[in-house]
């Protein structure tokens, strides 16, 4: 969700700075702030929730996990931020059109993020949805994985020489250790298990055509060089290994559909661009 909404959702620290900068004067605000007050800076009240958000975003951890040293540094940083914002107000920077636009976007971003967190919590990706998505992958073949080895060489001629040795009965693993220039060479060319999207297209296309135990009888060219591929086994990816990826995919799909539905239903009208006061002749 963070990736999808990175254009909408500003950092929590920036939102806290925006909230502080929107105050017109540095006087105590306790009567206008709902909830506990963490303290004051030059008489301006600091909401506890804003301060906690600032700390957690600065150190990327929960408040309860912060060390005393981190709390001290965080407090110093917050005071400095507040002092800077107050000085900016004294100079009238809060009236700058660009800054007002920035604060507007930050407020909408924070609200958008809060809405998505609320909606996704109300409709979580449960086990039934994950199992259904997994079954769909099994039925379509998208869950199929391949366990393969390869020998990577620099030229087509070298690859054909490797194939000739294999045809004569040479052991693929030992040949990979001596002939392959790829990083998997010392391990006998072992690539482990991989599924769709994990290999470059020519390599993938050649692999899926092989029967288990067979190797390519023609060299396979990619941007990395020339390959001879041995397919050892195939399997359907276990649910336990696919679960996290499935959850992320379903969450992104739900979010995209929800955002699109709101956007499509929104009534929007744009004014014509404002022309320059003194256009060039």
pLDDT the model gives residue 141: 87
Give the helix/strand (H/E) hosting 122: helix 97-122
Which among 5, 3, 2 has a CA at the least distance from the CA of 259? Answer: 5
| Statement: the pTM of the whole predicted model exceeds 0.75 | no
Q: β-pairing, 190-194 with 44-47?
A: unpaired
- C-alpha distances in angstroms, 266 versus 110, 259, 260, 269? 19, 11, 10, 10
pLDDT the model gives residue 27: 43
**What does R_g of the chain's alpha carbons equal in angstroms?**
29
Rounded Cα–Cα distance for residues 72 and 68 (Å)? 6
Q: Please return the burial class of 178, using the count of CB atoms within 10 Å of its CB with bins 0-12, 13-18 and 19+.
A: exposed
Rounded average pLDDT per 10-residue block, the chain, 281 residues = 41 43 42 76 94 93 94 95 96 94 94 93 92 93 95 98 98 97 97 94 97 97 98 95 93 93 92 66 53
CATH class of the structural domain 144-236: alpha beta
Domain ranges for the chain, please list them.
12-122, 144-236
pLDDT the model gives residue 178: 96
pLDDT the model gives residue 273: 77
């Amino acid at each position: 969700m963070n990736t999808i909404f990175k254009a909408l959702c500003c950092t929590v620290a920036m939102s806290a700075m925006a909230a502080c900068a929107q105050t017109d004067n540095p006087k105590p605000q306790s009567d206008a702030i709902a909830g506990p007050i963490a303290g004051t800076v030059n008489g301006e009240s600091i909401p506890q929730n804003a301060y906690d958000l600032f700390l957690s975003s600065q150190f990327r951890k929960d408040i309860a996990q912060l060390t005393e040293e981190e709390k001290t540094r965080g407090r110093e940083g917050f005071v400095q931020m507040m002092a800077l914002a107050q000085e900016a107000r004294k100079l009238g920077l809060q009236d700058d059109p660009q800054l007002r636009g920035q604060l507007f976007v930050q407020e909408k971003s924070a609200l958008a993020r809060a809405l998505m967190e609320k909606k996704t919590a109300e409709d979580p990706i449960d086990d039934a949805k994950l199992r259904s998505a997994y079954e769909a992958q099994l039925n379509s073949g998208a869950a199929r994985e391949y366990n393969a080895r390869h020998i990577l060489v620099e030229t087509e001629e070298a690859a054909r020489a490797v194939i000739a040795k294999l045809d004569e009965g040479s052991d693929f693993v030992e040949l990979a250790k001596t002939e392959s220039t790829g990083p998997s060479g010392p391990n006998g060319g072992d690539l482990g298990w991989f599924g769709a999207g994990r290999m470059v297209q020519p390599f993938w296309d050649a692999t899926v055509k092989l029967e288990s135990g067979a190797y390519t009888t023609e060299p396979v060219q990619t941007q990395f060089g020339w390959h001879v591929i041995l397919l050892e086994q195939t399997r359907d990816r276990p649910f336990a290994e696919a679960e996290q990826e499935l959850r992320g995919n379903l969450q992104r799909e739900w979010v995209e559909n929800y955002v699109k539905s709101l956007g499509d239903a929104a009534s929007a009208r744009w004014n014509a661009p404002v022309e320059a006061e003194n256009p060039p002749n």
